[in-house]
Structure 1
Amino acid sequence: MSPDILRPIRPLIAGIAASVVATLAQAESTHGIAMYGDPALPPDFVSLPYANPDAPKGGKVVFGNTGGYNSLNPFVQKGTAPWQLRFWTHEGLMGRSWDEPFTLYGLLAESIDTAPDRSWVEFTLRENARFSDGSPVTVDDVIWSYETLGTQGHLRYRGLWSKIDSIQQTGPRSVRIIFNEPDRELALIAGLRPILKKAQWEGKDFAEAALQDVPIGTGPYVIDDYEAGRFVNLKRNPDYWGNDVPFRRGTMNFDEMRLEFYGDQTVLFEAFKAGALSAVREFNADKWATQYDFPAVQRGDVIKTEIPHKKPSGMTGLVMNTRKAPFDDWRVREALTLAFNFEFINGTITGGAQPRITSYFSGSELAMQPGPAKGRVAEMLQPYAADLPPGTLEGYVLPEGDDSVRNRKDIRKAADLLEQAGWTIQDGVLKNAAGEPLKITLVISQGSLNVVQNVDAIAEMYARALERLGIELTVDKVDDAQYTQRVSELDFDMTPFRRALSLSPGNEQRLYWGSEGADASGTRNLMGVTSPAVDGLIDAMLASESREDFVAATRALDRVLTAGRYVIPIWSFDVGRIAHVKEMKHPQILPIYGDGPQFMPDVWWYDE
């Protein structure tokens, strides 16, 4: 009988086998994935809860954008593309439900597997997944898309690639991604990456795509016609592969959607009143109340619809570039915030109807709580105590002005802070010790890229207030292309700012205010935050295994950002306001995130 040469290592083999079996048992394939807990919808769900699976297909709708465009590729850094395209023409392996904080369900992928610690994720493609030209979606397309977007794509896609250790095919329709750092959110982020067709770009430079190089996608719509800077026409693909996928039932119901481009918001609104557009979103409560009484509304041909939500306020306002003096001094930033008389400006522009943003996550359970930091939040902040902005631990509240033009109380406080920072009035002008005047340039766009409506009127009132401090505010109004270049190159003192935030903030927080890449061209960290506390608290959010720790880390981050005085906040959008033709209908069940591109037009339909 031959000697048993395997006897010495049999226990090791058995241990490895048991480990593999245990891993496979724990990493069962599933129809969806939630950031915390289990998906709310069962494997056999019919449609998303806020979609009408019986919605009719048909109709044509026209929407308006301001400014222009010089690209139809929304996945690269170069050029300006209509922002709607990436929502209508392309898809990821998974799709997000907007009725849960952060949950994904299968779209191009029929199932998702993850390790218990989410150190890897594996997707299995649907056998019938197709691009709009009818060709099948392959694992090769998926791997190419991740690598190309991660290395040549828009900055929003590059962060994930740096966190991927390997990506490889594991079966005829399956692909596994292994991550190089512990981060429970990465599996979900990976599921949302758009998938493009590899063969289309063979022999072409993806990052330098020309206008006519329209990326082929898998989405319900394809670009049917366009004229640069004037319009883009999209038609629903009659051979769309995903009509029967539960995530898609009752969505993308319009036969045709057209984007018309206008010089500014005033011209766009007049076009809507004249019947040239099917719907507009209104962000000014006073305008909503006073200017939407034109004949079409009175006849009932145009309907005013309000959509409530439960999401955080996010941050909207004027951001300061802290890479430059004197904005690198918190006292100057506080003084500039004091000079911004929100109560007077809000009363003038919105009739006082819209409440002010009080922190980045205000209006949600993730918002910092009033008063001093307590409990788990205080524990998380303590390691950074020596470097925290004043007010972080003690509690910070935005200055409250009055409804007068002069706002004397806050102007006096601002002058005192500026003097502490080395700025004094000399010959009626605020100057530093070197005799240099404090001049501020506010860079704004003439077109669609202004994320703050009525910014012209806001700037005019703010400039008058700064004059009383001896500060000169100059508004530099440029076209969209120049604006994109200026902001990308960080060539501004102040500029309009908007960051929408979710009930499940994650890796995007690093893009918005992480130190890494803060000074890089094209960064989304416009204020230039470089804070160990911010970086550490984002890490704590991403590593949290319980909802309690996650909420505490987010509240702590909210304190650091708000007390940093990086943005002068304006009003929050506490309800979505959509004016639309009467033929446009929507489901009665609303998602917790309220309105957004994934609600209108995604789940609306046309009913004559």
Structure 2
Amino acid sequence: MYGDPALPPDFVSLPYVNPEAPKGGRVVFGNTGGFDSLNPFVPKGTPPWQLRFLSYESLMGRSWDEAFTLYGLLAESVETAPDRSWVEYTLRQEARFSDGSPVTVEDVIWSYETLGAQGHLRFRGFQAQVAGIEQTGPRSLRIRFNTDNRELALIAGLRPILKKAQWQGKDFTASGLTEAPIGTGAYVVTDFEAGRYVTLRRNPDYWGRDLPFRRGTQNFDELRIEFYGDATVLFEAFKAGQISAVREFNAEKWLTQYDFPAITRGDVVKSEIPNQRPSGMTGLVMNTRRAPFDDWRVREALLSAFNFDYINDTMTGGVQPRITSYFSSSELAVRPGPAAGRVRTLLAPYADSLPPGALEGYSLPMGDGTARNRDNLRRAMALLNEAGWRVQEGVLRNAKGGSFGFSVLLRQADGEMQRVVDLYSQALRRLGIEVRVNTVDDAQYAARIAALDFDMTNFRRDLSLSPGNEQRLYWGSAGAGQEGTRNLMGMASPAADAMIDAMLTSESREDFTAAVRALDRVLTAGRYVIPIWQYDVSRIAHIRQMKYPADRLPIYGDGVNFMPDVWWYEEE
């Protein structure tokens, strides 16, 4: 995106892999919930989330040790206009689908057009910015853009490539469990039982096994994904040796419950993987399409009533730090105090529409350190009074006599957030607010989220060191009222839209950073999410035979492109 790639044209492997890692072994991972689809590219159904990353590839691939760089994968070369108004790719002659058929320009164009028209919403925003796609040679194609957006030339290289011939005369959107799309990735689904397990095996004829970009990666012969009703059952299965590795997101549990016999014997190893990426946002999101969440004073009151220190101490032993903004713990995070310099210049034209504190400086309410959190509850009540709510006989009511009550929509498997809400509800009841917890299975949860049928729900957005077009999906006004949107809070902010535009048209890293910091101000001061704690260190417990290159960790740390991608199986 800016400057030059870190690796030379003749690099032999990515810097965070073991290029001599052995191939072989079988590992088992666990998911909570179930699945009813093997197609991860369409809106309908719930597929195992890992399929998108294990079985499918794109023209370019990311290095997870660089913030904003792609390298050739299915494409052997890439060319772009100086103004990034078009990008042209030339396919590798050896590129093959898992069934052995060659990847053609026709397959690539069909994939872009089909996903742009029928695929998941996350693919459609890109397609709307494409002026045209045409073949320019036996193995080359050019994509022209209709939008001034310098990141599109990179984003274009990350679309999954599927086989056109597979879907002739078939409905791509209705495949469900009947047929998995054919991809070019190293792993192929070989067996499954709906809702219970999926087995993937490494294709011995995988076309890219000798590419420098793939050297030292995709080392396991077999990956099996088992499904469990909730996280407690999954953890017991891991302790019993039925699962090879788990990611633990609770620091206190990591310290107190990982002392079972397999760890004592050394059969299971605890590994901690640091990272340099932004915190992202995890917490409880409020649906501002519904009253009373459309009033910022109400949202600030609910933030004030959330006793973070007490809840964090109860849930994690106080070990995990608080999320303070969407890009906290990174160079992209909002700086404390009033906006200054380039950030203020970007935000100034939107001063009248900005939430309070965006220009002046905003920080999350801090508790008084006690379990009852009296000072913040008094502040919350004052804000609620200002917004027209009064306590009458123990119930918070508005001028029309309507009571303040709302429901929190959660997955049945999300036991941790259920406990957070239980603790939070105790404080809200003291304000006269009635909270109902509505737990549903994965399918019902996905359907209700897609239909925007919730008051408050759990929320997680992983954010990278190279934010771009996906920010429009997360916060853009265009998706605020659209079913299936990822803009769950329903924010429609001209300032946020403009900051995203500024990010995408920046020609220097300095301007880009200023635009992201300005966006972080708008998001944080908007008070849309009640944040919880950061996952600043990844905690993975795994069988001792699973190894990873601990001496060369990528800046992004752990993720789907770390485990299982760069791990290997080795008997000691």
1:97 matched residue in structure 2: 63
What is the alpha-carbon distance in structure 1 between the residues aligned to residue 449 and residue 385 of structure 2? Answer: 30
Which runs of structure 2 are paired with 1:112-131 in the superposition (5 Å)? 112-131=78-97
What is the alpha-carbon distance in structure 1 between the residues aligned to residue 449 and residue 477 of structure 2? Answer: 18
What is the alpha-carbon distance in structure 1 between the residues aligned to residue 178 and residue 191 of structure 2? Answer: 11
What is the alpha-carbon distance in structure 1 between the residues aligned to residue 431 and residue 146 of structure 2? Answer: 51
2:517 matched residue in structure 1: 555
2:558 equivalent to 1:606: no
2:461 matched residue in structure 1: 499
Q: Which amino acid aligns with 1:302?
A: V
1:45 matched residue in structure 2: 11
2:545 matched residue in structure 1: 583
1:378 matched residue in structure 2: 344
2:284 equivalent to 1:322: no
For residue 518 of structure 1, report the CA deviation from its aligned partner: 1.1
What is the alpha-carbon distance in structure 2 between the residues aligned to residue 277 and residue 404 of structure 1? Answer: 40
1:17 matched residue in structure 2: none
1:572 partner SS? coil
Aligned length: 570
1:8 matched residue in structure 2: none
2:498 matched residue in structure 1: 536
2:329 matched residue in structure 1: 363
For residue 426 of structure 1, report the CA deviation from its aligned partner: 1.1
Q: 1:304 aligns with which of 253, 270, 286?
A: 270
Do the aligned partners of 1:131 and 1:217 also contact (CA within 8 Å) in 2? Answer: yes
What is the alpha-carbon distance in structure 1 between the residues aligned to residue 412 and residue 101 of structure 2? Answer: 41
2:366 matched residue in structure 1: 400
Relative to structure 2, which stretch is displaced further, 395-404 or 287-296? 395-404
What is the alpha-carbon distance in structure 1 between the residues aligned to residue 185 and residue 536 of structure 2? Answer: 31
CA deviations over 1:118-158 (Å, ceiling 9, x no partner): 10000100001000000000000000000000000011111
2:379 equivalent to 1:416: no
1:24 matched residue in structure 2: none
Task: Point out where structure 2 has 5 or more consecutive residues left out of the alignment.
Answer: none
Q: 1:203 aligns with which of 169, 177, 186?
A: 169
CA deviations over 1:532-587 (Å, ceiling 9, x no partner): 00000100010100111100010011001000000000000111110000000001
1:58 matched residue in structure 2: 24
For residue 209 of structure 1, report the CA deviation from its aligned partner: 1.3
Q: 2:201 aligns with which of 235, 250, 264?
A: 235
CA deviations over 1:201-260 (Å, ceiling 9, x no partner): 000111111312111000000001000000000000011000111111110000000000
2:437 equivalent to 1:471: no
What is the alpha-carbon distance in structure 1 between the residues aligned to residue 326 and residue 465 of structure 2? Answer: 12
2:528 matched residue in structure 1: 566
CA deviations over 1:11-66 (Å, ceiling 9, x no partner): xxxxxxxxxxxxxxxxxxxxxxxx11111111100010001111000000000000
What is the alpha-carbon distance in structure 1 between the residues aligned to residue 206 and residue 509 of structure 2? Answer: 38
2:557 partner SS? coil
Relative to structure 2, which stretch is displaced further, 207-216 or 181-190? 207-216
CA deviations over 1:420-464 (Å, ceiling 9, x no partner): 0000011110000010001110000113xx5xx611110111111
For residue 161 of structure 1, report the CA deviation from its aligned partner: 0.5
Do the aligned partners of 2:311 and 2:420 also contact (CA within 8 Å) in 1? Answer: yes
What is the alpha-carbon distance in structure 2 between the residues aligned to residue 407 and residue 160 of structure 1? Answer: 46
Q: Which amino acid aligns with 1:495?
A: T
CA deviations over 1:70-102 (Å, ceiling 9, x no partner): 000000000000000000000000110000002
What is the alpha-carbon distance in structure 1 between the residues aligned to residue 154 and residue 248 of structure 2? Answer: 32
What is the alpha-carbon distance in structure 2 between the residues aligned to residue 267 and residue 480 of structure 1? Answer: 16
1:14 matched residue in structure 2: none
2:223 equivalent to 1:223: no
2:120 matched residue in structure 1: 154
1:509 matched residue in structure 2: 471
For residue 404 of structure 1, report the CA deviation from its aligned partner: 2.8
Do the aligned partners of 1:347 and 1:403 also contact (CA within 8 Å) in 2? Answer: no
1:260 partner SS? strand
For residue 387 of structure 1, report the CA deviation from its aligned partner: 1.1
What is the alpha-carbon distance in structure 1 between the residues aligned to residue 121 and residue 84 of structure 2? Answer: 24
What is the alpha-carbon distance in structure 2 between the residues aligned to residue 151 and residue 212 of structure 1? Answer: 21
For residue 316 of structure 1, report the CA deviation from its aligned partner: 0.4
Aligned-residue RMSD, C-alpha: 0.7
TM-score by length of 2: 0.99
2:468 partner SS? coil
1:247 partner SS? coil
Q: Which amino acid aligns with 1:458?
A: V
1:26 matched residue in structure 2: none
Q: Which amino acid aligns with 1:304?
A: K
2:297 partner SS? helix
1:169 partner SS? strand
1:88 matched residue in structure 2: 54
For residue 405 of structure 1, report the CA deviation from its aligned partner: 2.7
2:100 partner SS? coil
Do the aligned partners of 1:306 and 1:575 also contact (CA within 8 Å) in 2? Answer: yes
For residue 594 of structure 1, report the CA deviation from its aligned partner: 0.3
Do the aligned partners of 1:380 and 1:556 also contact (CA within 8 Å) in 2? Answer: yes
Do the aligned partners of 2:45 and 2:176 also contact (CA within 8 Å) in 1? Answer: no
Task: Please tell me whether Structure 1 or Structure 2 has the larger radius of gyration of its CA atoms.
Answer: 1
1:593 matched residue in structure 2: 556
CA deviations over 1:344-380 (Å, ceiling 9, x no partner): 0000000000000000000000000011111111111
CA deviations over 1:300-333 (Å, ceiling 9, x no partner): 1100000010000000000000000100000000
1:316 partner SS? strand
For residue 402 of structure 1, report the CA deviation from its aligned partner: 3.6
What is the alpha-carbon distance in structure 2 between the residues aligned to residue 446 and residue 198 of structure 1? Answer: 38
Q: Which amino acid aligns with 1:507?
A: N
Q: Which amino acid aligns with 1:607?
A: E
Q: Which amino acid aligns with 2:552?
A: I
Q: Which amino acid aligns with 1:515?
A: S
What is the alpha-carbon distance in structure 1 between the residues aligned to residue 176 and residue 382 of structure 2? Answer: 54
For residue 403 of structure 1, report the CA deviation from its aligned partner: 3.9
1:353 matched residue in structure 2: 319
Q: Which amino acid aligns with 2:105?
A: V
| Runs of 4+ residues deviating >3 angstroms | none
Q: 2:483 aligns with which of 518, 521, 527?
A: 521
What is the alpha-carbon distance in structure 2 between the residues aligned to residue 55 and residue 309 of structure 1? Answer: 22
Do the aligned partners of 1:344 and 1:402 also contact (CA within 8 Å) in 2? Answer: no
